[in-house]
C-alpha cells in the first residue's frame, strides 16, 4: 500500500483546491491511499510561543502523518501571484524544530497542483513553492504539472469535478506522482 498525504492551502469552505484533492482521491490508482489533511486550526507561527509552549498538537499530528507517508501532495491556491500566507505558515510550523525537518521533509516525494478562478491556474504559486521545498530537502516531482484554471467552470457548487478533460489530466498527474513516490521508496529501501 502506498500512502500519500494531501493538503489544501485554502481554509475556505468551498475551496477549489480542497475539491481538487477530493477529486484526486477518487482517481488514485489501486493500492494507493490518499489521506486529506487540513491546516485549519494551525496558529500563526510565533517563535516565542514555540519556546514557551512547544509545537501545537495539531502540527505534531500533521508532521507525523507526513513522516509516515510515501509522499506529500500540496494543492495550492494562488494569492497575489504567490503562496497563500496561511499555507506557508503551516509549512513553517511543520519545519519546527529545525532538527525535525529531515524526518518530515527530507527526501520526501512532493508534488504541487492547484486550482484557481483565474486564467493561469496557479503557475506562479507553484513556482514559488520550489525554493521552499528545496530548502526543506524535499524530493520535488517536477515531471507533472496540474494547473486548473477557471475553476468555477470545472467544479459544481458542491465541489464535484465535472470536466472530463481535467479529470483525465488529474488521473495522469496522480498516476505519475504515485509512480515517482513508489520508485523513491524502492530506492530508499534498496
Domains of the chain: 2-189 (3.40.50.360)
The one-digit pLDDT tens for each residue of the chain (190 residues) are 999 999 999 999 999 999 999 999 999 999 999 999 999 999 999 999 999 999 999 999 999 999 999 999 999 999 999 999 999 999 999 999 999 999 999 999 999 999 999 999 999 999 999 999 999 999 999 998 899 999 999 999 999 999 999 999 999 999 999 999 999 887 877 6
Cα gap 43→26, rounded to integer Å: 30
Contact partners, residue 173, CB within 8 Å, separation at least 6: 24, 111, 113, 144, 145, 146
Cα gap 24→5, rounded to integer Å: 11
Beta-bridged to residue 161, according to DSSP, are: 155
The string of pLDDT tens digits covering residues 93-117 is 999 999 999 999 999 999 999 999 9
Residue 184: per-residue pLDDT: 87
What is the pTM for the complete model shown?
Answer: 0.96
Amino acid at each position: 500500500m502506498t500512502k500519500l498525504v494531501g493538503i489544501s492551502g485554502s481554509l475556505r469552505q468551498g475551496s477549489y483546491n480542497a475539491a481538487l484533492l477530493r477529486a484526486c482521491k477518487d482517481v488514485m490508482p489501486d493500492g494507493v491511499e490518499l489521506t486529506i489533511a487540513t491546516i485549519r486550526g494551525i496558529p500563526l507561527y510565533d517563535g516565542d510561543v514555540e519556546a514557551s509552549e512547544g509545537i501545537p498538537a495539531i502540527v505534531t499530528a500533521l508532521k507525523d502523518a507526513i513522516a509516515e507517508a510515501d509522499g506529500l501532495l500540496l494543492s495550492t491556491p494562488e494569492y497575489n501571484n504567490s503562496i497563500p500566507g496561511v499555507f506557508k505558515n503551516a509549512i513553517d510550523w511543520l519545519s519546527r524544530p529545525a532538527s525535525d525537518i529531515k524526518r518530515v521533509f527530507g527526501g520526501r516525494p512532493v508534488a504541487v497542483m492547484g486550482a484557481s478562478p483565474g486564467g493561469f491556474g496557479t503557475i506562479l504559486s507553484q513556482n514559488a513553492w520550489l525554493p521552499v521545498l528545496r530548502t526543506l530537502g524535499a524530493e520535488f516531482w517536477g515531471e507533472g504539472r496540474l494547473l486548473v484554471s477557471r475553476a468555477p467552470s470545472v467544479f459544481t457548487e458542491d465541489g464535484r469535478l465535472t470536466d472530463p478533460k481535467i479529470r483525465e489530466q488529474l488521473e495522469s498527474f496522480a498516476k505519475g506522482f504515485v509512480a515517482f513516490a513508489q520508485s523513491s521508496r524502492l530506492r530508499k529501501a534498496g
